[in-house]
Structure 1
Amino acid sequence: MTNGPTAEPGREILPDAARLRRHVEFLAREPRGRLRAPAAMERAEAYVRDELTAAGWLVRRQPFDARWQIGSTDRHGHRALALKPRLHRRLRGANLIASLPGAPTGPVVVVGAHLDSVSGSPGADDNASGVAVVLETARLLAGAPTPPGVVLAVFDMEELGLIGARQAAGELSRNPGVRGMICLESVGYFSDLPGTQRLPAGFEKLFPEASAAVRADGGRGDFTLVVHRRSSADAAEAWRRAAAAATMTGLLLRDPRPDGPLGLLIGLAVPPAGHLGRSDHAPYWNRGIPALMLTDTANFRNPHYHRSTDLPDTLDYQRLASVTAATAVTAVTWPDTGATP
């Protein structure tokens, strides 16, 4: 497994698959969401806050009150966010933002994942897996000899249309500023069986190289997809190299759209490209901030997506540990190329 941050010379701190499983099992006991399952959401939020604090991070709860937001519904169902549009009159939620004492001032790298699930689904993969990686990354980075310029973010209301991430992107881009962002979106489901990896309609024409790589592997769902843009290409390659050292395959997929509002508009017009902005990295792209999305491709691989069967036993925790190792390394070595102007 790849070398990770070290607490002292000669002593590595490595991801713990058992600890990752413990996080997922707690978070995925039940569906959680601010609107339909508020008590469960509060329990999940308290768990995350306590785990981050125990790892030595300073945690800020940042409430928000968002009005007239275009988003989606969080009702369960095996459909993508973009196919469930809704206008929200008012949404009140909260993000958790954590930093290490003594970390350098200035622009940071954000590592984030959303905490909520859709109604009716315990959301082990979507997205307790991503939150578990954030929590284990917290433990790894807290052991570094020098606190890195990394902020950990756990977002609210992703299933309602990236609401929490939009709020956090605005706040963090103002203070302290953001160099880059790594989004963990459904990162724990893998399959070595041929034909388990599907592609969205129109994907092969728009992304022939990535599609050919999936076909050459027999359509196995044994990789992590690393979605990036030109601004984050170097970071994507850094993640791929770190993952390879941790015996994990990273398949790079470049979104051809530019960062900023134009990229958002193109995604609305070209649905296959729109799939690449279906999580909490998109608000950072829309602000011109380099970002990665790490994903097992959700409903294009996992048959339990947004269903009651999205349970902890369906995940691969050894591979999830590899995802964590590569994420921690990339966060602390984020390349300067493509940094926010």
Structure 2
Amino acid sequence: MNFKNILKPTKRKIILFVGLFFISIFIFDSFRGCQAAEKSPVPADINLVREHLTALTKTPEFRNYKNLNQLNTIAEYIHQNFNKYSDSTSFQEYKVGEETYKNVICSFGTENKKRIIIGAHYDVCGDQQGADDNATGVTALLELARMLKGQKLNYRIDLVAYTLEEPPYFRTENMGSYVHAKYLKDNNIDVYGMASVEMIGYFKDEENSQDYPLGILSWVYGNKGDYITLVRKIGAGNFVKNFIEEFKDSNQVKTKTFSAPKFVTGIDYSDHLNYWKFGYSAMMITDTSFFRNKNYHQTTDTLETLDLKRMTKVIDGIFLSLIHLK
């Protein structure tokens, strides 16, 4: 008997059901009002954004795990900039074999017990500049540090620049975000939630500039890579729900939400996956990575390919979400 032929109709029904289920979620999640954009009290500075991106990408060596001196130089650059604005700045050091790697952390609103983690990795995959992946995320942290200084906050905000997110350490306990998330759990620290800032600088307005893990999603999202995506798993928790509402309400940049089970390709492709492992409400803010940016993990991932104006508005959206969260 040809089981392959028997299973074909059932498989098609399953795919159709899953597709329709996703669409029902996505239509609901992608709806946005047409209210005016909120004005930020401390807007992100596009000149500083360009300055940080240049410092992170135009380096003597590539900032990958093999070039420890370069990673340390970048960590020191992040630390120095954090230290301009935060009274609490530190390195979180840990060993991988005989080498020591560093996360860089700064905090705001330390009078509050419950905290929010905003994280981004500063290492790259292989021998390339990694402008979008992930100098954009680190630059967001550096600008957020400047913008958060002196703000009245309802939560403690920890900005964390991670090392070793990229292969060969991705999905291992050597990821900087795993080390940080485990530290929080081991010390019973009260965490409201976490957002990973993972590639936020690449936008395209041309037709067919956006791909998806399921082709059917183009029916809902369209085929232009002209938006930022807030990625969450089903049942992501209160922090994620509330952060997304605040981000959309700020109306800084065209925004869509991707809600799906964890098994969907790409939904856990960043540092937030380690906070999920320890039970925290966590999400990712992204331009959708390789589903849009074909420079992903290539030598062509350079500063010149980025849309700094829209990237700056993404940073404004994160900032406004953080200062408004109740």
1:149 — aligned with what?
156
The alpha carbon displacement at 1:56 in A equals 3.0
Distance in 2 separating the partners of 1:212 and 1:255: 16
Distance in 2 separating the partners of 1:26 and 1:94: 18
Distance in 1 separating the partners of 2:275 and 2:265: 15
Would you say the 8 A contact 2:72–2:102 is kept in 1? Answer: no
1:45 — aligned with what?
75
Would you say the 8 A contact 1:141–1:148 is kept in 2? Answer: no
Correspondence 1:107 to 2:114: yes
1:197 to 210, 213, 219: 210
The secondary structure found in structure 1 opposite 2:255 is strand
Gaps of 5+ in 2: 1-36
The secondary structure found in structure 2 opposite 1:275 is coil
Distance in 2 separating the partners of 1:54 and 1:110: 19
Identity %: 27
The alpha carbon displacement at 1:329 in A equals 1.8
Gaps of 5+ in 1: 5-11, 67-88, 258-266, 268-272, 336-341
Would you say the 8 A contact 1:109–1:334 is kept in 2? Answer: no
1:35 — aligned with what?
65
Distance in 1 separating the partners of 2:244 and 2:218: 18
Distance in 2 separating the partners of 1:183 and 1:223: 17
1:255 to 254, 260, 278: 260
2:42 to 8, 13, 22: 13
Amino acid at match of 2:95: D
2:288 to 253, 278, 297: 297
Cα deviation digits, residues 106-155 of structure 1 (max 9, x gap)? 22001110000111110000000000011111111113145851110000
TM-score by length of structure 2 reads 0.80
Distance in 2 separating the partners of 1:25 and 1:134: 15
Q: How does 1:50-65 map to 2 (within 5 A)?
A: 50-65=80-95
Distance in 1 separating the partners of 2:129 and 2:87: 27
Cα deviation digits, residues 270-292 of structure 1 (max 9, x gap)? xxx14100100111112221112
Amino acid at match of 2:133: D
1:214 — aligned with what?
221
Query: Are residues 315 and 280 of structure 1, via their aligned partners in 2, closer, same or farther at CA, if it must alter by over 3 Å?
Result: same
2:200 — aligned with what?
187
Distance in 2 separating the partners of 1:90 and 1:196: 44
2:244 to 221, 236, 240: 236
1:224 — aligned with what?
228
The secondary structure found in structure 1 opposite 2:124 is coil
The alpha carbon displacement at 1:45 in A equals 1.0
Cα deviation digits, residues 73-125 of structure 1 (max 9, x gap)? xxxxxxxxxxxxxxxx777421111113x622422001110000111110000
Query: Are residues 155 and 184 of structure 1, via their aligned partners in 2, closer, same or farther at CA, if it must alter by over 3 Å?
Result: same
1:161 — aligned with what?
170
Amino acid at match of 1:109: I
1:2 — aligned with what?
38
Would you say the 8 A contact 2:246–2:321 is kept in 1? Answer: yes
TM-align CA RMSD:
2.0
1:309 — aligned with what?
300
Select the structure of larger CA radius of gyration. 2
The alpha carbon displacement at 1:41 in A equals 1.2
Size of the aligned set, in residue pairs, is 279
Cα deviation digits, residues 264-321 of structure 1 (max 9, x gap)? xxx3xxxxx1410010011111222111201111111112111111111111111111
1:178 — aligned with what?
191
Distance in 2 separating the partners of 1:147 and 1:117: 34
Distance in 2 separating the partners of 1:179 and 1:146: 13
The alpha carbon displacement at 1:57 in A equals 4.1
Distance in 2 separating the partners of 1:146 and 1:195: 41
Distance in 2 separating the partners of 1:252 and 1:169: 24
Shifted more, 302-311 versus 27-36: the winner is 27-36
Distance in 1 separating the partners of 2:313 and 2:54: 19
Distance in 2 separating the partners of 1:211 and 1:194: 11
Shifted more, 117-126 versus 165-174: the winner is 165-174
